[in-house]
Structure 1
């Protein structure tokens, strides 16, 4: 099957998994629309990837109006949307329910849950037109029980939402993929360890799902370090 060029909208695109995914998609012949809060980082990435391949709009994914503007500008620029990758997310500095910080919880829920919902709501009307693809970053932590992990609970939501959304999108031949990585070597984690996955590993999973034959809905990709 000859690969068809696709336009992909990515949240959390200025660093880590989002940045690696943008690079790999462009290298593989796709176009990307990038959004994150850091305008400077986005502009630098667009310059690296080339204006003909990448377009960016700075936005806070937890702000519905800002995210809507980013999606609208993407449609104005490219004229269509084939895939969206809801990747923006964060953790907390203190684990545990008693020891946790409610303000951190609120911020994390905003980005890990609300921003995911906003991204789906805003992109689905465009994906419906292209019989497109929605992808999201959950976590290995969203597939297992971890003592006192509020972060893991938010990723359980993402995991369940992705499975439900896949059934919803199936009605119009859309596809939904939930990406579930273990620990990834990104600024998300304080420690830099060699035994983590790399952002490029997750980017490869995204590309695999997007490039699959349209008859093949890759519902989930679960990644763990091999050693």
Structure 2
């Protein structure tokens, strides 16, 4: 039986690239995002190994239902990739927008927590793998950046979760890229990290033998 990976934020960028790379490596992929048209098109491109699951990653019932449908379709869940994330328009603390913070924290902090919580029973069955998108911003300090603070949470959470999962043979990995050429930025960044580069890192972490737990992969542009 092929292994199965559920990906949030799968409609574009890193998530879409990871879906393609994982499918090429022989995985089934469940694609979660709010943009139903985009993930349905991606699933059609990948073929029978893909399942489109429109969902809001900040809603408990959506995550729970997506996991149930994934197992019903493919028989098991071997890994999840908490990739959905967002930023803010107004930087800084004094000049920041608390409403933007509220929405960002729900996506960048609460959503990875919810996915880990609801996915754990499925991953225990397969001694599976939890992967989450961190950032260089989660390793360094950036003046007044609430986004960076949410990624610092992701890095700490990833390590703590890995310690919990190792008790039953599971693994957790934080993928920490620098600037990636995605729609997150207003202008294209063709010389920076490509989504496919990050996807390759995810597949690498997932493909390691059970004796090796890759806790973090830190990727930077090479220009």
**CA distance in structure 1 between the partners assigned to 2:181 and 2:15 by the alignment:** 13
Deviation of 1:78 after TM superposition, in Å, equals 1.1
Superposition pairs of residues 160-179 of structure 1, within 5 angstroms? 160-179=156-175
Instruction: Name whichever of 56-65 and 192-201 sits farther off.
Output: 192-201
- Per-residue Cα deviation, 1:158-199 (whole angstroms, up to 9, x for no partner): 000000000000001101000000011111111212332110
Instruction: Find out whether 1:198 has 2:207 as its counterpart.
Output: no
Q: SS at the partner of 2:29?
A: strand
Q: SS at the partner of 2:42?
A: helix
Deviation of 1:56 after TM superposition, in Å, equals 1.5
Instruction: Name whichever of 160-169 and 184-193 sits farther off.
Output: 184-193
Tell me which residue corresponds to 1:216: 212
Deviation of 1:67 after TM superposition, in Å, equals 1.4
Q: SS at the partner of 2:54?
A: coil
**CA distance in structure 2 between the partners assigned to 1:79 and 1:27 by the alignment:** 19
Superposition pairs of residues 12-91 of structure 1, within 5 angstroms? 12-50=9-47, 52-91=48-87
- Aligned mate of 1:148, from 133, 144, 150: 144
**CA distance in structure 2 between the partners assigned to 1:194 and 1:76 by the alignment:** 39
TM-score, with length taken from structure 1: 0.96
- Per-residue Cα deviation, 1:123-147 (whole angstroms, up to 9, x for no partner): 1110011000000001010001111
Q: SS at the partner of 1:57?
A: strand
Tell me which residue corresponds to 2:3: 6
Q: SS at the partner of 2:168?
A: coil
- Aligned mate of 1:113, from 103, 109, 117: 109
- Per-residue Cα deviation, 1:99-153 (whole angstroms, up to 9, x for no partner): 1111110010000001111110111110011000000001010001111110000
In structure 2, list runs of 5 or more residues that go unmatched.
Answer: none
Instruction: Find out whether 1:159 has 2:164 as its counterpart.
Output: no
**CA distance in structure 2 between the partners assigned to 1:196 and 1:152 by the alignment:** 19
TM-score, with length taken from structure 2: 0.98
In structure 1, list runs of 5 or more residues that go unmatched.
Answer: none
**CA distance in structure 2 between the partners assigned to 1:108 and 1:17 by the alignment:** 18
Q: SS at the partner of 1:72?
A: helix
Instruction: Name whichever of 188-197 and 140-149 sits farther off.
Output: 188-197
| Number of residue pairs the alignment of both structures matches | 223
